[in-house]
Amino acid sequence: MELICKIAGRNLWRHRGHSLVIGAILFLGSLFMTVGNGVVSGMDRGLQRTIVRSFTGDIVLLSDKHESDNVFMEMMGRAVEPIEDYAAVRAVLEKDSALSDFLPIGKNMAMILNDEDGPSAFVYLLGVDFGRYRKMFPGNMEILEGRFPVEGQTGMLLPLWARKEIRDQTNVWFVPAGAPMGLGLDTSHMDADARKHRADMRVKNGMVMMGFNEANTATDIRLNVDGVFRYNALNTIFGHFALTDIESYRKCLGYFLASEKNQGKVSGADSALLSMEDGNLDAMFGTDSLVVTDKPAAGLSGPPVRKSPPREAVSPRPQNPPAGASVKPAAMDLDQGAYNLVLLLLKNGVNSDAALAELNARLKQAHASVRAVPWKKALGVVGSMATIIKGALFVFVSLLFVVAVIVIVNTLTMAALERTPELGMMRAIGARKGFIGGMFLAETAMLSALFGGLGIVAGILGVGVLSLLKLTSENDMLQLFFGGDTFHPLLTAGDIVLAGLQLAFVTVAAVTYPLLLARKVGPLDAIGKE
């Protein structure tokens, strides 16, 4: 082996032109592969921080009755089905050791009514318990105007992007309650068009919203805007989602409230409606009369008497409280009301695919009418775009493999053909095929270790420099590529080891064909070439 290495080193110096060409290719290939691995890892980490840990969670639970897995970005604002048996779902989740936290929410579309007969606008509503939401997603937003809603009161947070869209459609500019509305109006977060037409805009601090769903059971509510905010990343995409307290959301969508159940205001008739199957519920509105059959009294004969059931007095739903009033007592169990989704966060290090499969099995065993889907499916096209971008980066790195292998193979093959007399002479003085093959492999390995190693080191330094630059963008497509609002590539020890393995694979793949050619050279080839 020592002799092979000495001869290989001599040959590299003797043919240093070819050696430098091959070395430069190995250097650039290793550099780009290392940086590519850092970008992919940074994107993964960034998406975990800006989407999973700030908006969706790792896994999303939705009703089995909802046809599509896409619940956040479904076109035309199709209503998300409510979860019917959240108590059973919660019992399963509380026993799942893979979860670090979970958050039930409401999610559907609402229409912002225009009280001056002008055009209306639409906004996605997320109904949440603000305290639990901040615990689940701490620091995922920045309040730009106003304040965070007071715990236990009605409240609404309006995203910066949604406010702009509402203004474009209705010419109404919403500001937080208590903010100046006249000459002192805060214009620091207005776009150029809004500033230009400032005098023509109507300024309000409260809005009337009506839930928008397929059942047409929604009601209208009035809410003051507590604060205007921006999400820390993907603000154009997530900026369509306004946050309201969960009880106001339920009123808006026409769902049963936790306050009604906790205070015993749900009548027996309403409770029966809640438990009825779809088929029975539809039958109530059929053409046949709703009747019951009574048995005849003892001692009497004749056919049974058919009577209409007595109507049970139903307590009217309470009127909407004034803005800022408390909607729930301190001891209220908000989980008694309706939800549409449950967002789940996994513990660090838990395999998401395995946790998803196991959770679906447990939910099925508990007969819970929900299913678990990964966050990428729940986000629809946005999740698909993230997968596509990550896949494109992987393809780019893979193409570097292919290009590097092809160029190095071509260069080594030409070198082998040019060295035929030299190889033939070595065979004539007794060198075996194995010695020739080992010499070629040693030459390529030396070039790979030297230039490829330098490329990996340069890639590590390059990733560090790119990270220190803290490149930012407001474009959501670039933010998906960045994994957030700041480009932050990241190299782990595993990524560096992977770069070394990739380099070794390129070396072996590139040297295989030239090595086989060199082994075929015999003593007579040297004479023939001469």
The model's pLDDT over 206-255, given as tens digits with 9 standing for 90+, comes to 999 988 766 656 678 899 999 999 998 888 889 889 999 999 999 998 88
Query: pLDDT tens digits for 32-61?
Result: 888 888 888 888 788 778 888 889 999 999
- Collapsing DSSP states into helix, strand and coil, what is residue 381? helix
Top-confidence residue, 189 or 13: 189
CA–CA gap between residue 199 and residue 211 (Å, rounded): 31
Share of the chain above pLDDT 70, in %: 82
Residue with tokens 């800022």: 324
Structure-token match 């309470």, residue found:
318
Mean pLDDT taken over the chain: 80
Judge whether residue 394 has pLDDT over 80.
no
Within 10 angstroms of residue 331's Cβ, the number of other Cβ atoms is 6
* pLDDT the model gives residue 244: 96
3-state secondary structure of 346: strand
CB of 444 closer than 8 Å to CB of 350 = no
User: CB-based burial of residue 392 (10 Å sphere; 0-12 exposed, 13-18 middle, 19+ buried)?
Assistant: exposed
pLDDT score of 76: 58
Quote the CA–CA distance of 447 and 202 in Å, as a whole number.
71
pLDDT at 309 over 60: no
What confidence category does residue 287 fall into, taking pLDDT thresholds of 50, 70 and 90?
A: very low
Q: What is the mean pLDDT of residues 372-396?
A: 81
CA atoms within 13 A on the CB side of 131: 7
List Cα–Cα distances, 285 to 73, 279, 351, in angstroms: 33, 11, 48
Quick check: 316 pLDDT over 60?
no
Average pLDDT estimate for 178-190: 84
- pTM equals 0.73
pLDDT at residue number 302: 41
- Whether the pLDDT of residue 28 is over 50: the answer is yes
Burial bucket for residue 237 (CB in 10 Å: 0-12, 13-18, 19+): buried
Residue with tokens 């301190």, as numbered in its chain: 330
Q: Where is mean pLDDT largest: 55-69, 71-85, 327-341?
A: 55-69
Lowest mean pLDDT among 14-23, 93-102, 289-298, 404-413: 289-298
475: number of Cβ within 10 Å: 11
Question: What integer pLDDT is reported at residue 311 of this predicted model?
Answer: 35
User: Distances in Å between the alpha carbon of 301 and those of 296, 304, 305?
Assistant: 7, 9, 11
pLDDT at residue 480 greater than cutoff 80: no
Give the pLDDT band of residue 101 (cuts 50, 70, 90): very high
**What angle do the packed helices 86-94 and 352-365 form, to 10 degrees?**
130
pLDDT in tens, 490-515: 888 888 888 888 888 888 888 888 87
Q: Which residues pair with 374 in a beta bridge?
A: 59
The confidence score (pLDDT) of residue 63 equals: 94
Q: What is the mean pLDDT of residues 454-473?
A: 89
Spell out the domain ranges in the chain. Answer: 2-51+384-529, 65-264+327-368
C-alpha span between 251 and 209 (Å, rounded): 10
pLDDT of residue 307: 39
Average pLDDT estimate for 73-86: 80
What was the pLDDT predicted at 331?
56
Burial of 449 (0-12, 13-18, 19+ CB in 10 A): middle
Strand 292-294 to 305-307 pairing: antiparallel
When pLDDT is averaged across residues 140-148 and rounded to a whole number, the result is 92
Report the pLDDT averaged over residues 129-147.
Answer: 93
Residues in the chain: 530
Residue 292: its pLDDT value, please? 41
Backbone angles phi, psi at 21, to 5 degrees: -60, -50
Q: Provide the pLDDT for residue 304.
A: 40
Summarize the confidence of residues 324-335 as an average pLDDT.
Answer: 60
